[in-house]
Amino acid sequence: MQVAESKGIKNIPDLANYLGYDSAEKLYRLKRDQEAKPSVDIIVDFSNKFEDLNVRWFLTGKGNAFQIASNYVSDSFISEVSEPSSHYGLKPNKNKGKDISVGVAPLLPKVVTVDNNNNEVIALVPHKAAAGYLNGYADPEFIENLPSFNLPGFAGHSHRAFEVRGQSMLPTHHSGSIAIGRAVENLDDIRDRRVYIIVTKADGIVLKRVLNRLKQDGKLILMSDNDNKTDYPNYPIDPEEVLELWYWRASIIRESPEPGNLYNRINDMEGRLTLLQNQLSHLSPQNKLINGNG
């Protein structure tokens, strides 16, 4: 509030009103979390309203709160502070009533979506947006335009949903289903033969079982569940190829999947047996006696 007091503003609601915000919630979040850093939008809003604000002090607490020369936030500085940091900033989503939090860790998502109560929601990456996701996964504007939803039992961690396309993970994961994954911070956390959603530089978004061979060979082995290894071979990737990693937790199936070949054969045998039993039950007693004496 030190900066606000220079304009005679004594409380957060008045400050929000001075900045032109409909709600003071984003400012209250910064007040509640002393480690939080303001979003680029908030920085620009403050610098526009408080022309002599020292933006470096505003971000780091170092130096003086005000400077003699008029200060502005240049495009290059916005680009710099919008890079992922070890803190979370907040960016309002005016279209959907959600906020965008920009954060970082080695592999954690650069952008997460939250609702008006600051609870994370699950952003869905449909198939048509998959190509753009490689360029937009760290862009708040791209993420905020994705559809999102809540699911019980998925609170407390960052989750994202991806539409599955292709046959490589049959019979366990079907094309058209929605795979929901929990963010993984470090490649060392990968557990062998578990299913992960991997966002890669070269292959885009893939759903695969993974063998962690980083310590032995410096590679991750991506494995398909499909038995047809001619069309769906396993292959290694370098860890540098991984942009994001999501541990598969659940899938939403839009239609009943086709059963496997073995299941079909068992069904066929059961069907034939049922027909045979039905034919036997309709035999006349005389035929039954003859067949019994035969």
d(Cα 287, Cα 78) in Å, to the nearest integer?
A: 92
Mean pLDDT across 55-59:
63
Architecture in CATH of 86-284 = Ribbon (2.10)
Q: Give the pLDDT score at 63.
A: 62
202 neighbors 125 (Cβ within 8 angstroms): no
Q: Which of 223-237, 243-257, 262-276 bottoms out in mean pLDDT, i.e. has the lowest?
A: 262-276
pLDDT value at residue 282: 76
Reported as a single tens digit per residue, the pLDDT across 155-179 is: 778 999 999 999 999 989 989 899 9
pLDDT, the chain, mean: 77
Please report the pLDDT score of residue 44 as a whole number.
Answer: 67
The sign of the torsion formed by the CA atoms of 80, 83, 84, 88 equals positive
Mean pLDDT of 113-131: 86
Asked if pLDDT for residue 101 goes beyond 80, the answer is no
Ranges for all domains in the chain classified under CATH 1.10.260.40: 1-83
pLDDT (average), residues 2-22: 82
pLDDT at 284 over 70: no
What's the pLDDT score for residue 203? 93
Task: Tell me phi and psi for residue 83, to 5 degrees.
Answer: -65, 150
Q: CB-based contacts of 172: which residues, under 8 Å, 6+ apart?
A: 195, 225
Using a pLDDT cut of 70, give the percent of the chain over it.
Answer: 70
Q: 114: which 2 tokens? A: 């939250």
Distances (CA, A) of 33 to 3, 26, 90: 18, 11, 12
Does the pLDDT of residue 237 top 90, yes or no? yes
Domain 1-83 has CATH 1.10.260.40: yes
Q: Which residue ranges does the chain devote to CATH 2.10.109.10?
A: 86-284
39-59 mean pLDDT: 69
pLDDT at 225 over 80: yes
